[in-house]
């Protein structure tokens, strides 16, 4: 059973970014399923090895689109990306230290990111990008 299912409420109406957001949502669901099966720590560790590069590439793509359309809140959005990246790096550090409960920390972190950043911060740029021809 999926923790979250992709729906229009997660869409920013930019196909490439929606595909990337949907991929992050699938990662969240895979982690959740693994936790139910008692394998959460292994999946969490694999994600924390791969997730930073994927997140970095995704943020770069978002920021490039915002920059190319002169999005007025780019600096603020970029600072939120930097904060998210800092928090993700902290989780990776906890993993290296062998922190207990890592899978639940990562699950909570990703779920909050989807709920707060994608549904609020990213939704804020959607109309601007669409008005400037980005679909």
User: Per residue in 38-58, pLDDT tens?
Assistant: 999 999 999 888 999 999 999
Q: At what angle do helices 74-96 and 102-112 cross, to 10 degrees?
A: 170
For the cut 90, the answer to whether the pLDDT of residue 99 exceeds it is no
Residue whose token pair is 């059973």: 1
List the domain boundaries for the chain.
Answer: 14-131
Of the candidates 14, 38, 20, 44, the residue with the CA atom closest to the CA atom of residue 108: 44
Strands (E), 10-108: none
Q: What is the pTM of this model?
A: 0.91
Q: How many CB atoms lie within 10 A of CB 123?
A: 15
Residues in the chain: 135
* Start-to-end Cα distance in the chain: 31
Q: Per CATH, which fold does 14-131 belong to?
A: 1.20.120
């Amino acid at each position: 059973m999926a923790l979250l299912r992709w729906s229009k409420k997660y869409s920013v109406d930019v196909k490439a970014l929606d595909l990337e957001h949907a991929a992050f949502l699938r990662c969240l669901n895979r982690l959740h399923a693994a936790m139910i099966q008692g394998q959460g720590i292994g999946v969490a560790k694999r994600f924390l090895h791969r997730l930073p590069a994927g997140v970095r590439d995704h943020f770069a793509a978002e920021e490039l689109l915002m920059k190319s359309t002169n999005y007025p809140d780019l600096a603020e959005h970029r600072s939120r990306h930097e904060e998210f990246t800092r928090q993700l790096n902290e989780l990776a550090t906890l993993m290296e230290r062998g922190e207990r409960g890592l899978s639940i920390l990562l699950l909570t972190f990703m779920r909050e990111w989807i709920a707060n950043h994608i549904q609020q911060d990213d939704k804020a740029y959607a109309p601007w990008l669409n008005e400037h021809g980005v679909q």
